[in-house]
Structures are given as structure tokens and as C-alpha cells.
Structure 1
């Protein structure tokens, strides 16, 4: 595989990945992004986009927020869309509940990326030990950063600092990293 194609629900996921992937992927792997206009657009057009992707040696990763959906059902639905496109090997990952969960799992990265002080020490609190359980991570991040976090700019700033060594407390982030490491790239 020479091209890794990310199918994403929103531009902020691309901004985060652009900072994260250079530290994770080996040299020579091309990365492309298909950014949809929200989850409804993704579900409507994913099969078509995957089916008509022409570049050979491409591997696909589908990343979407869970929001209020049942995680297992959502993942199965996305897998079925990939299979309908003939891309059954696509890696499907769900951010529980939102992309911001990834950031709450690594408050040191938030602190560094947003140039704040004192956030990393809060990682030990029960709330941030299992951020995937938080119902509204974006709201939590907004409160925690006193509104310094903005979705796109914040993702761009935090992405390069997210730890990829398994110390992020977001299980859904760790599942994404583990899946990417297992790809034959």
C-alpha cells in the first residue's frame, strides 16, 4: 500500500490527523483525505466515493464521531457501506462520543498545543481517566480551556502533541492508533 485514504466526517479530524500522522507513519506513505460535510453526508456518499476511488494500492480508514448512536451498530453500518463499495478491508473507527474525547485523553497535549498551564495534572481526575464516557466532550474541553479551544484551530494545535505510545486515556483514540499501526504500511 502506498496511499492511506482517510474518510472523515469533518475538517477538524483532518487537522488533527495532519499533526499526528507524520509521527506515526513510515516515510513514503501518501495520505489523502475525503472530508464529508457531516455524518449524514458521509453515510449518503461513502459507498460511492470508495467504489470510484481509482488510485491503486490504497488503504481506507473511516473515522466518525459516535455522537448519540450505539457504537457497535454505527461501526457495523459503516462496515456494510465499505463492503458495498468492495472495500471490506477498510479500517473503521469511532470517536466515542466526539473527536474532543481524544484530546481529553491527553491533557498534556491540550496544554502544549493551546499554550495553557495546569491542565496535564487534571488527567488523574476520574472524569479524564475514562473520557470516552463523557456525554459532551466538546463542552468539557471548552470549560477546561476557558473557551480557548476552537474546533478547527484547536485540532490543528493539539494534533502534533497527542501521544501515540498508549498513554492516552481515550480507549477510542488508542483503538485508532492500534489499528493504524496494524495496517501493512
Structure 2
């Protein structure tokens, strides 16, 4: 069975992917999102979950927030090291949301406007702050302020995820996630 499996740190990431993936994956490639109870739980259990996964044709993407971790590359290398020894390391990719999941949303304020029914919000995309959202220190706080506290993590992830432009390039970390999804699903589709 052609399957793309995501290991994510929590429910908000699962909520986002559950509505985003049906639009991103070709017919015939299934997806499964496995949420953990935070970063430590993800890091502690991911190797065991990958190793024990029953579908031998599955491909894996680990998605984690950068948060306050200073070095994105070191964080990614550490997560890849946890994939070593699973027997599936060749079928694992790691993607980091710089700095938080909300960066993806701030990169597409038109999607936030439509999802939260806040006319005029997309006009702020041109402001200096939202042109490079991966550089923001606290995207979740920025999003709450921008939406006048209407954004809530899980519900917002579901609503905004339905509207996100898959070809949006304002957030390099979102662009890399979508590219990984497309690359692995094409690999599965051609297998």
C-alpha cells in the first residue's frame, strides 16, 4: 500500500495535515498522521514507531517546530539520527517549521482572512513583518494579535489548512514541507 506517514509533535499539526494532505497527494497515495504529546514524546518514541510500522512501502516525514532551538540544521540532524537504526532511514525525511507552525499561516494571510472571515487581513501581507514570517520570534503570538485573539491553535489549523496555497513561497519551511510531500508521494506513485 502506498502510504505517506507523518510523525508530528501534537494535535494541531495533525489537524493541519489532515485537511492539507488530501489536496497535496495524488490519487492512490494514502496518508496517516501520528501525533505525539509534544516534542520530547516525539523524540523519545519516533524511532520505535518507525521501526515497528507494519507497511513496508511507507515513507515517513517527521515534522517538528524549531521553537527556541537556535540551530535548525543541528535540530534536523538530531532528528535524522533518531531515524538511524530503524531499518527505514532511507525512507525518512525531517522537516522543521521555523519557528512555529503558525509561520505557515502568517505566510498566507489571504488564507487566514478566508478561514477566519476577517476581511482586509490579506492586505497586511506586504508589510515588512509578514514578508519573511520564518524570521519572526513568536509567530503564534503574532497571529493571535493580528486576528484579535480569534485564532485558536487546533480549530485555526483545521480552518486555515483548508485554505493554504500549496505553492506559497513566503515561508521557506512551508515550501520545503510541501516539496517533501510532493517528492515522497511521487516516489510512492512511481513504485
State the TM-score, normalized to the length of structure 2. 0.93
Q: Which moved more, 1:134-143 or 1:45-54?
A: 45-54
Secondary structure, in 3 states, of the residue corresponding to 1:117? coil
Cα 1:114–1:168 change in 2 (3 A) is: farther
1:98-129 C-alpha deviation (Å, 9 max, x unpaired): 00000000000111111111111111111111
Preserved contact between residue 4 and residue 61 of structure 1 (Cα < 8 Å) = yes
Structure 2: runs of 5+ lacking an equivalent: none
Q: CA RMSD in A?
A: 1.0
Deviation (angstroms), 1:67: 0.4
Count of residue pairs the alignment pairs up: 184
Secondary structure, in 3 states, of the residue corresponding to 1:45? helix
Structure 1: runs of 5+ lacking an equivalent: none
Partner of 2:46: 46
Partner of 1:133: 135
Matched, 1:78 2:79: yes
Cα distance in 2, alignment partners of residues 13 and 28 from structure 1? 23
Matched, 1:103 2:101: no
Secondary structure, in 3 states, of the residue corresponding to 1:12? helix
Secondary structure, in 3 states, of the residue corresponding to 1:84? coil
Secondary structure, in 3 states, of the residue corresponding to 1:161? coil
Partner of 1:124: 126
Preserved contact between residue 17 and residue 33 of structure 2 (Cα < 8 Å) = no
Cα distance in 2, alignment partners of residues 142 and 38 from structure 1? 21
